[in-house]
Amino acid sequence: MKDNENSSQKLSPKVNALLIIDIQEKIIGPVFNKDSIIKNIKKLINAYQILEENLFFSEQNPSKLGITIPELLPKDGFKKIEKMEFSLANIQEFIKELENKKITNLIVCGIETHICVQQTVLDCLQKGFEVILISDAMSSRNRVDHEIALKRMIQMGAILTTTESIIFELCKTADRKEFKEIRNIIKS
């Protein structure tokens, strides 16, 4: 959560969570740039599992919209949350887990940018979390909806970045033993 006494642009000490919002079989079909979005989310998940913990997947009404695309789900080490609410921030179990783990920063990707992603982000910003949007790992059916939603979330305080940028930011240094693995993920 943001430290109100320190209003600098530097991110607060990071206790991160990666939120993968509603990357479900029936939702992703009409989304523009979907192959690139899936590829970038896969890179994020693979790198995140090496560098961090606190990986969350949400599924919007999975009985009607299908489950998370199976190729994206890790074998373990993640939490899946089924929801009917558009905003993941309205799920008390989710918010309680973030609080219990002292998570301050949310790295967000998924679909659709202007619906579930935007509502989750705006609610989480209001609750005091720092939110980092992975712009090339989220999308909508219509490009204009995606672009306007990004602008709105940025105006409200979210930080915009890309898949490769956030992976290197999480890695911090080429001296890490995991760096070779991370470099291979980026190149894939």
Segment 156-173 mean pLDDT:
93
- The per-residue pLDDT for range 67-109, each reduced to its tens digit, is 999 999 988 889 999 999 999 999 999 999 999 999 999 999 9
Give the sign of the dihedral formed by CA 126, CA 128, CA 133, CA 139: negative
Answer yes or no: are the C-beta atoms of 31 and 112 closer than 8 Å.
Answer: yes
pLDDT > 90: what percent of the chain?
77
The topology under which CATH files domain 16-187 is Rossmann fold (3.40.50)
Residues forming a β-bridge with 105: 16, 130
pLDDT at 11: 46
pLDDT band at 6 (very low <50, low <70, confident <90, very high): very low
Distance (Å, rounded) from C-alpha 188 to C-alpha 172?
20
Question: Cα dist. 96→31, 92, 93, 103, 128 in Å?
Answer: 31, 6, 5, 10, 14
Please report, for the chain, the start and end positions of each structural domain, with discontinuous segments joined by +: 16-187
Q: Is 177 exposed, middle or buried (0-12, 13-18, 19+ CB in 10 A)?
A: exposed
36 Cβ partners below 8 Å, 6+ apart? 136
- The per-residue pLDDT for range 10-31, each reduced to its tens digit, is 444 578 999 999 999 899 999 9
The two tokens of residue 47 are 């790198």
pLDDT band at 171 (very low <50, low <70, confident <90, very high): confident
Find where tokens 């080490």 sit.
Answer: 77
Residues identified as active-site: 22, 83, 116
User: Hey, what's the torsion of the CAs at 159, 183, 74, 23, to 10 degrees?
Assistant: 40
